[in-house]
Structure 1
Amino acid sequence: MTRLLPGILAMAAIVVASNVLVQIRLGDWLTWGALTYPFAFLVTDVMNRVYGAPTARKVVLAGFATGVLCSLIGTQIAGEFGPLVTLRVALGSGAAFLAAQLVDVALFDRLRGGRWWRAPLVSTLAGSALDTALFFSIAFSAALVWLEPGADVAWANAAVPVLGMGPAAPLWVSLAVADWSVKLVLALVALVPFRAITTALKPRLA
Structure 2
Amino acid sequence: MPNELIWILFALINFGMLLLFYRLFGRTGLFVWIGIATIIANVQVLKTIELFGLTATLGNIIYGTAYLATDILNEKYGKKDARQAVWLGFSTLIAMTIMMQVALQFEPGASDFAQGPLQSIFGMIPRIALGSLAAYIVSQYFDVWIYDKLRKMFPSDSYLWLRNNGSTLISQLLDTAVFCTIAFLGIYSPSVWLEIFITTYIIKFIVALIDTPFMYAAKYMKVK
Q: Distance in 1 between matches of 2:219 and 2:64?
A: 18
Q: Is 1:138 aligned to residue 179 of structure 2?
A: no
Matched residue, 2:221: 200
Conservation of the 8 A alpha-carbon contact between 2:48 and 2:58: yes
Q: Is 1:14 aligned to residue 55 of structure 2?
A: no
Q: TM-score, normalised by structure 1?
A: 0.77
Matched residue, 1:60: 86
Counterpart of 1:92 (choices 127, 131, 140) is: 131
Q: Distance in 2 between matches of 1:16 and 1:90?
A: 10
- Range with bigger deviation, 10-19 or 64-73: 64-73
**Runs of 4+ residues over 3 Å off in structure 1:** 73-77
Counterpart of 1:79 (choices 120, 132, 137) is: 120
Unaligned runs of 5+ in 2: 1-24, 105-117
Q: Distance in 1 between matches of 2:219 and 2:180?
A: 32
Q: Distance in 2 between matches of 1:79 and 1:173?
A: 24
Conservation of the 8 A alpha-carbon contact between 2:42 and 2:129: no
Q: Distance in 2 between matches of 1:116 and 1:106?
A: 16
Instruction: Give the 3 Å change call, closer, same or farther, for CA 38–185 of structure 1 in structure 2.
Output: same
Letter in structure 2 aligned against 1:33 = G
Matched residue, 2:201: 180
Letter in structure 1 aligned against 2:204 = K
Instruction: Give the 3 Å change call, closer, same or farther, for CA 178–22 of structure 1 in structure 2.
Output: same
Conservation of the 8 A alpha-carbon contact between 2:48 and 2:57: yes
TM superposition shift of 1:101: 0.5
Instruction: Give the 3 Å change call, closer, same or farther, for CA 4–35 of structure 1 in structure 2.
Output: closer
Letter in structure 2 aligned against 1:6 = G
Letter in structure 2 aligned against 1:198 = K
Instruction: Give the 3 Å change call, closer, same or farther, for CA 19–159 of structure 1 in structure 2.
Output: closer
Unaligned runs of 5+ in 1: 142-152, 161-170
Secondary structure of the equivalent of 1:118? helix
Structure with the larger helix share: 2
Matched residue, 1:110: 149
Q: Distance in 2 between matches of 1:189 and 1:134?
A: 23
Matched residue, 2:58: 32
Percent identity of equivalent pairs: 28
- Range with bigger deviation, 70-79 or 129-138: 70-79
Secondary structure of the equivalent of 2:160? coil
Conservation of the 8 A alpha-carbon contact between 1:50 and 1:201: no
In the alignment of these two chains, the number of paired residues is 176
Q: Distance in 2 between matches of 1:120 and 1:23?
A: 28
